[in-house]
Chains A and B, each alone.
Chain A
């Protein structure tokens, strides 16, 4: 049984932005050490604020507290998914609350088949669709890359083909297709982005 975690309710009017660094550090400590004290700090700051948001959204104390509890439970259990480089603690916690609220409202209306928040905002997926090299791992076969490549829009495909398969320079491609160099650059960028996006989200499919 747990006793006496100090719950410090900051009455001060510190804005979320002003304590972002401090809160980030607490969340990281929670992730790394399961530190209850650090969590209590985060909780003390955000829980009352979330309740005020939840009350406005749900219009009912019990539902509001449920929303607060679910949100903060996720912060506790999934603290390792917080990434300070991608956003502030308040943004992360708000998006968790927004997602839970979105699903709660649909559940209340008994709309089981409805779209769920994970489909729209994959905030709490173990892998976020952020593009990085690690997801380009052994699971992706050449065949799949070819497959994704085939799915690129025609114009992007032509540019990528010329540069990455035929080994032409961007200027050569521009001359050959009689389009501005800027267009070649932007098509290349878009195509790579799209491929990356497809590969990353490919990892998330299933379930």
Chain B
């Protein structure tokens, strides 16, 4: 297993945000983690990244326990997070953001360079000297993903990459993720947009109020109308069509 989470619990000021989380991701998988706002999705990713310390439970990545590892070291081990809201460095240029991403490489072998990231997201080549803060939301998301790729992740954690993006840009981002996965990148994709996430992944976990309430093949979860309706709101015809196409 690339990632194994066992019985993980996280609390903020004594109030539980996550309880009894068991989750695994195998090498090469593209797994979705979906759930409503406030379910604890970001908390789980932040616990994996070491930014939030678990109350109990264990996390192991590539056979290595992460419970005592500093967050910047976790990134350098090849477990990289693209955080919610992109968090690009607004005062640095596009290229500087990408170069900064190389820091996570440490002693590991490079898999992406400026050229290959620009090939994946051509807009980043066009805007290379522009301050990242001047990019649109979608461009910032591409920059955030590209920046993580520069650090040669073995596994990528993405926190709501579709948030606030126009549907067309969103499709572009998801296409890129599928292509990266096809090239062997292991991905854990957090989404509120369940329909889209289930359409793009093979396996999924559904998180609600800090617990995993469903897990299984994405297609089965998507077919289960109750899950879509009850936990995740109704889907738009637009997205239904897109899933049928993919």
Instruction: Verify that A and B bind, or say they do not.
Output: no
- Name B residues whose Cβ lies closer than 8 Å to a Cβ of A: none
